[in-house]
Structure 1
Amino acid sequence: MSGDHLCACGPERAPIPVAQRGRHLVVDLHCHMNIAAAEALIRAEVENPPNPLAFMSAASMATNAKLFAAIGRKLNGIDERLADMDRLGVDVQAISPSPGQYYYFAPDELGRDAARMVNDGIAAAVAQHPDRLVGMGTVPLQNVEMAVREMRRCVGDLGLRGIEIGTNVAGRELAEDAFRPFFAAAEELGVLLFLHPLGFTHGARLAEHYLDNIIGNPLESSIALSHLIFGGVLEQHSRLKLCVAHGGGYLPAYWGRMDHAYRARDDCRRFITREPSSYLRQVWLDTLVFDRDQLDALVRTHGADKLCLGTDYPFDMGEPDPVGFHAHLPDPVKARLLGLNAAQLLGLSPLCDSCGRE
């Protein structure tokens, strides 16, 4: 791999060799794993933990219950993953925690211990198939010092290549000054941050029809990303590697409005020095948008070098044909979106399946 590729995964971390089976390397940047031991720890210590999906209707809750019963083995383990990856044409999964395992609501020490359980569980799963799986962890952001320490352990001791973060920390915005040391440490380490929502914090009007997920998840990401932009986090930490799930929410389709606000209003220029869309284009987005016209729009306006395939495996709101969804794109663009961009972000070095060479 090139020197730029090595720099993308950090100055002290060698690329991870991974299997490539077809014409293009295919890396799924957006898929999840639940670590049951951490969930049990939280339930044993926290009475009535908050439910971020509390706004959902009874019909949506019932459908979710059937879903989790159906995908439980896939979400909680890796026994069926490789067969599904082969069926979908995916060479590598970058597995991140199930979003319900952020545990930012827990007392600091309990949150730290649960995060360590999650990260140890993901590292153990990756170790079973290191050519097919790469890991992303979680950190207890309710205590920034602990979060930075756990992130360094994830990178230095466990070999994880990313940290998944929520769109808020128990209701606090990520752009608060208190979280700047975390973003500074992530920038220093060169580790990928994967921003993933879990429902919408003010979803009373989104109860029916699964709108808390359909509209709420992208809206939640849009709000969090807007705070990171207007609050100056992406200006202060311009080398931060940040990828936003679900195509980045709604901002990539409506960035002109925030640019106009920047030009028209003093209060939208307090912490930034250029148009907001320029910071938006610093971040990576996954391609989980389901519609090829919308995918083409992202390629045109956001750029082929900042997009990565994501499926949301094993959930029902995932992309059922990830390789086919990108098949219409020009070959150089397709290669980047299917796997090359993610390989650079995560520090992966593809090996040809037929000859074993990089």
Structure 2
Amino acid sequence: MRYIALEEAFAIPDLAARQPATPMGIKVTSEYAAMVGRKIIDFEEHRLPDMDANGIDVQVLSLTVPGIQADESPAAARDNARFANDFLAEAVAAHPDRFKGFAALPLQDPAAAVAELRRCVEELGFVGALVNDHTHGRYLDHPSYDDVWAALEELQAPLYLHPGSIPADDWHLLDGRPELYGATWSWQAETGGHALRVIYGGVFDRHPRATLILGHLGEFLSFQRSRLDSRYRTLALSRSLDRMPSQYIGSNVLATTSGILAPEAVQAAVLTAGEDAVMFAVDYPYEETADAVAAVAKADLPESVKAKIAHGNAERVLGLARSQEG
């Protein structure tokens, strides 16, 4: 089975030195931190052998958290996005059959984000973009980002919405329970809520061909489709959506399997979002590649559906089939 992995992180030490210190508040073991530290800055010594050992044909690489969302000024964001994307382009060029790239965008300056997106897709050959949640409290339903969505739609480039920006809210729910912060729970709630802002903000009504990708099985939104619709029917709204909220999930909003290592969860995502809406990802180096592959391989699904998850849907959504034909 051919596997294309969509949420695979890299870091650039020189970039981190240029950016403000951003403690993320997640405490992990020293052994885990050391392992991630070795692998996340590497492209050949650890990453390619891990891919080969587990049957991963392609990793789509993206800048790790908090990425460009850490930058405070638009000027710094513009410079650092270009620096990061040029660095990634070199890594992809060294192994073009094994790596593809998601652009980092300086959303602090929406016009610059549009220009950088175009440069990355049209000149560097990137297959989309990835942002780490909000940008200093400004979410993707903000009117200032309408041109960004228009460019994504025009370029047929998906936007991957990843958790991990600097916290915008002081969640008292997390007080005294730091275990709940981050990938364990709070990131899913924050990122899923961000995606709902995009849906309820009418972004996909204005840009019906735009695509938003969510990791972690769609931050579990597909499992809430019926409830979203039942509650939407009760709301007194000044403006109605063109469709029911559930209908954007599985069409405009797609999911990857990143970080969810349970075959039964993959099955459920297919049942709720559809077999054309789920794509494979590992969340390398934060998760084990073998476990991510097993979650798809052991799922009680037809082989034709597993092939869509493993590679077919990604080839369609990222335009990889088009680029290979060309």
The normalised TM-score by structure 1 is: 0.83
What residue number does 1:41 align with?
18
* Amino acid paired to 1:230: Y
1:26 and 2:11 aligned: no
1:116-155 CA distances to partner (integer Å, 9 max, x unpaired)?
1110111111111111111111010011001001111111
* Amino acid paired to 2:274: G
Aligned-pair identity (%) = 32
Structure 2 unaligned residues grouped into runs of 5+:
none
After the TM superposition, which residues 249-260 of structure 1 pair with which residues of structure 2 at under 5 Å, given as runs? 249-260=219-230
Q: 2:209 aligns with which of 234, 239, 250?
A: 239
What residue number does 1:123 align with?
89
What residue number does 1:346 align with?
318
1:302 and 2:267 aligned: no
Deviation at 1:209, TM superposition (A): 2.3
What residue number does 2:292 align with?
322
2:207, 2:103 → 1: CA distance? 21
What residue number does 1:13 align with?
none
* Amino acid paired to 1:339: H
Q: 1:87 aligns with which of 53, 72, 92?
A: 53
Deviation at 1:28, TM superposition (A): 0.5
Deviation at 1:301, TM superposition (A): 1.5
Q: 2:68 aligns with which of 102, 112, 118?
A: 102
Partner secondary structure for residue 210 of structure 2: coil
* Amino acid paired to 2:119: R
1:83, 1:210 → 2: CA distance? 33
Q: 1:177 to 1:350 in 2, by over 3 A?
A: closer
Higher relative contact order (CA 8 A, sep 6+): 1
Q: Is the 8 A contact 1:166 1:197 kept in 2?
A: yes
- Count residues in correspondence: 317
Q: Is the 8 A contact 1:235 1:279 kept in 2?
A: no
1:170 and 2:174 aligned: no
* Displaced runs of 4 or more, over 6 A: none
Partner secondary structure for residue 233 of structure 2: helix
Partner secondary structure for residue 124 of structure 1: helix
After the TM superposition, which residues 209-224 of structure 1 pair with which residues of structure 2 at under 5 Å, given as runs? 209-224=179-194
Q: 1:210 to 1:69 in 2, by over 3 A?
A: farther
Q: 2:196 aligns with which of 216, 223, 226?
A: 226
* Amino acid paired to 2:229: D
Deviation at 1:108, TM superposition (A): 0.8
1:201, 1:294 → 2: CA distance? 29
1:264-317 CA distances to partner (integer Å, 9 max, x unpaired)?
1122x625122100012222100232222221111111111111001000014x
Deviation at 1:331, TM superposition (A): 0.8
Deviation at 1:106, TM superposition (A): 2.1
Deviation at 1:104, TM superposition (A): 4.8
Partner secondary structure for residue 125 of structure 1: helix
What residue number does 2:39 align with?
74
2:64, 2:182 → 1: CA distance? 17
Deviation at 1:241, TM superposition (A): 2.1
1:231-266 CA distances to partner (integer Å, 9 max, x unpaired)?
101221110122111111132111222211221112
After the TM superposition, which residues 286-301 of structure 1 pair with which residues of structure 2 at under 5 Å, given as runs? 286-288=256-258, 289-301=260-272
2:187, 2:164 → 1: CA distance? 6
Q: Is the 8 A contact 1:244 1:286 kept in 2?
A: yes
1:74, 1:104 → 2: CA distance? 22
Q: Is the 8 A contact 2:136 2:168 kept in 1?
A: no
Partner secondary structure for residue 84 of structure 1: helix
Deviation at 1:176, TM superposition (A): 1.0
Partner secondary structure for residue 102 of structure 2: strand
2:10, 2:211 → 1: CA distance? 22
1:204, 1:67 → 2: CA distance? 28
1:274 and 2:246 aligned: no
What residue number does 1:208 align with?
178
Q: 1:190 aligns with which of 156, 171, 190?
A: 156
1:182, 1:256 → 2: CA distance? 30
